[in-house]
Structure 1
Amino acid sequence: MSKIGIFFGTETGTTRLIAKKLYKILGSDIADKPVNVNRISPADLLQYDALILGTPSYGEGDIPGKGASGCFEPNWEEFLAMMGRPDMKGKRIAMFGLGAQERYSERFASSLMALYQVFAGLGAEMIGEWSTEGYTFQYSASAIGDQFVGLVIDQRTQGMHTEERLQAWVDQIKPALLEKVEATA
């Protein structure tokens, strides 16, 4: 049986921590261990039909990387440059992003939308929207109406909600991801 692939970019390690928590909730029987995108080739990600992708937020809603957002290590920006523009029709992707709603209220978790648009633009089926209820921010590019395009975690000011949000989101996305895994097994 194929599995769900979990990939993330990180700068301080928090996105890695969240990816590991998601893996623990899903379990090793249906998901592979999370991997940092700065340690893989595009073929490693593209082998999966069901994916969970995670990103920190840096800059003004930029895709995190050494260029526009000034990350110290390679991140999504460098990975996407290597990946090019593959056809991702047939892939089902859920995304999560990190942000700090008090510190960056005017651009809360906006990098999630930048990454979302890349994969949606390549033809992937995007799932995993998450309510904006319970968050306090001025603006987020990642919000469409009252929904984020993926799960948003504010570990800095709402860490007390992280476990509950992760579990609820996994309960929401797991059936659709498993359907994709089982269809390609």
Structure 2
Amino acid sequence: MAESENNQRLHLYPRERLQTVAVVASMVGGAQGFFSGVKMSSLRYLTENAHRLPRTVGGWYFYHKKKNYIMLLAGFKNAATLAVKYSLGVSAFLGLEAGLDYARNSTDFFNTTVVGAVFSYAYGSLKHMTRVQKWNYVKKGSLLALCYGLAQDAMIYSRGGHVWYTKYAASTNNLQL
């Protein structure tokens, strides 16, 4: 295993990491979108047709047949939408993180925290949140990104990779009081 491989986030080079995480995020988004789309369309169909429920066995057959068709159609439509949203969002996050790693020539938690703050601010602005809501969102997003970055650094360090601040932490253990 090459030395530079030990220093990569999630043990993957940036291009491989972006491709892998984009596929995984789209699968998660697709599954979540499908099930939420099916559930919402089922309830919507019941609401729209509650005033004219079938009275015969054949009527119930066609009621459920059409309901299942509408549920599947809405589920697949919502699955495609959420799969694209999740994939683009996660890819943009990790792409900007890899760009900061390259620009700073350092792979550490700081880049992840900055990207988390930028993305949470952008999301808050996109959703037209109030200033207080937006800054609370930025604080929470930055904290989650900090935890994610520290977890990545811990993984890099456990593989024998280089994390710049660990040499300072290791040297402070030898101090005598």
**TM score, norm. by length of structure 2:** 0.27
The structure where strand makes up a greater share of residues is 1
Greater gyration radius: 2
The higher-RCO structure (CA 8 Å, 6+ apart) is: 2
The structure where helix makes up a greater share of residues is 2
**TM score, norm. by length of structure 1:** 0.26
